[in-house]
Amino acid sequence: MLFENLSLFLLIVEKGGLSAAGREAGLSPTSVSERLGALEKHYGATLLSRTTRSISLTDEGRVLVEGARRLLADAESIKSTIKLGSEQISGLVRLSAPVDLGRNRLVPILDQFLEANPNISIDLNLTDGFLDLTGLGIDIAIRYGALPDSTLKVRKLSEGRRVVCASPSYLSAHEIPEHPSELVHQQCILMRFGNSIHREWQFHSQGRTFKVLVSGRRIANDGDQVRQWCLAGHGICIKSYIDVREDLEAGRLVELLGDYSLPGVDLQMVYPSGHATPHRVKILMNEISSKLAV
């Protein structure tokens, strides 16, 4: 019964309330409250602070969230190994990835993985922002660059070469820049990270650094939208090479300023530390590494 109560506790946290969790689990509000009370009695601590309008985790509740996810994941992994054997895997894998990379490169990998493993389910979160992996119960995240959470384990997937590019239609209507400083006269498509807009583009060539403050009428916090605007001829953008490699090879986009390099941003796979990684997650991580690494 403890495992069932732990699962219900996590559902309450995820849904933001006892009533919503009860509806999801098919339980009455009284039953949910009683089982939460049993869990609090078992641990001898208040796990949730409740008002008529909201709930919030106590310090003990936050500790239990991480511990419960770890315990349930380990239990599921043991169950899968015993019931299905080492050749089959089952269960849910939660993962997150940047929007552009996720839609165009990761989803085909996941589709193949799901077809080969009918007992696996995938919960995919596409976002260009950073997420609290532990708090959200995410098993794997694909991310560019250094991460603020140093407690995460990291597996490098590829060197993070970035390119400046534009569509042939844009270049036919505008002067092609030969030097980074000429970008100030161009329409640049800008990426937003939280409250920060990436306006200062930095280049290197022959030991020298060039910083250019660019501008443009289009700004987005979605990397795929930046790419779509660029393909449509609305301006010049910076993209990771892995995101636009096929566009460049097909001639839909043209790389600019090839004599100047941009600071690299490595592509990495990150995952929570501190507990054993479930077998199903390890298998998917290996699949992503073999097919996404370039």
Please give the pLDDT value at position 146.
66
pLDDT in tens, the chain (294 residues): 777 888 888 888 888 888 888 888 888 888 888 888 888 888 888 888 877 677 888 888 888 888 888 777 777 766 665 555 445 678 899 999 988 888 888 999 999 999 999 999 999 999 877 777 777 788 888 888 766 656 778 888 877 789 999 999 999 999 999 999 999 999 999 998 878 899 999 999 988 999 999 999 999 988 889 999 999 999 999 998 888 989 999 999 999 999 999 887 788 888 877 666 788 888 999 999 888 765
Please give the pLDDT value at position 121.
93
Residues 225 and 284 in one domain: no
Q: Residue 44 sits in which domain range?
A: 2-71
What are the structure tokens assigned to 26, written together? 């098919």
How many Cα atoms within 13 Å fall on the side-chain side of residue 249?
A: 6
174 domain-assigned: yes
CATH number at residue 121: 3.40.190.10
Residues 120 and 194 in one domain: no
263 domain-assigned: no
Please give the pLDDT value at position 294.
54
If residue 18 lies in a helix (H) or strand (E), which one and from where to where?
helix 18-25
In eight-state DSSP terms, residue 58 is -
Residue 200 φ/ψ, nearest 5 degrees: -95, 110
Residues 117 and 248 in one domain: no
233 domain-assigned: yes
240 domain-assigned: yes
Residues 167 and 245 in one domain: yes
CATH number at residue 252: 3.40.190.290
Residues 177 and 233 in one domain: yes
Please give the pLDDT value at position 108.
92
Q: Which of 99, 97, 92, 154 is nearest to 119 (CA)?
A: 92
**Between β-strands 267-271 and 140-144, what pairing exists: parallel, antiparallel or unpaired?**
antiparallel
Residues 10-41 as b/e (b if ≥16 CB within 10 A, e otherwise) read bbbbebebbeebbeebebeeeebeebbeebbe
Contact by Cβ (8 Å): 214, 201? yes
47 domain-assigned: yes
Q: Which of the listed residues 14, 37, 71 is the one where a domain comes to its end? A: 71
Residues 241 and 104 in one domain: no
CATH number at residue 10: 1.10.10.10
How many Cβ atoms are within 10 Å of 175's Cβ, its own excluded? 9
Q: Which amino acid is at 146?
A: A
28 domain-assigned: yes
Residues 215 and 250 in one domain: yes
Residues 46 and 113 in one domain: no
Please give the pLDDT value at position 230.
97
Residues 183 and 246 in one domain: yes
Please give the pLDDT value at position 78.
66
23 domain-assigned: yes
Residues 124 and 208 in one domain: no
Residues 173 and 218 in one domain: yes
Residues 32 and 100 in one domain: no
What are the structure tokens assigned to 25, written together? 């689990």
155 domain-assigned: no
Contact by Cβ (8 Å): 213, 138? no
Q: Which of 219, 233, 261 is nearest to 166 (CA)?
A: 233
**What is the reported pTM?**
0.58
| Rounded Cα gap, residues 11 and 29, in angstroms | 13
Contact by Cβ (8 Å): 276, 134? no
As beta bridge partners, residue 9 has none
- Counted domains in the chain: 3
CA distances from residue 128 to 13, 97, 101 in whole angstroms, order as listed:
24, 7, 10
Please give the pLDDT value at position 77.
66
DSSP E strands, the chain: 48-50, 55-57, 91-97, 120-126, 140-144, 153-158, 162-166, 189-193, 196-197, 200-205, 208-213, 218-220, 237-240, 254-256, 267-271
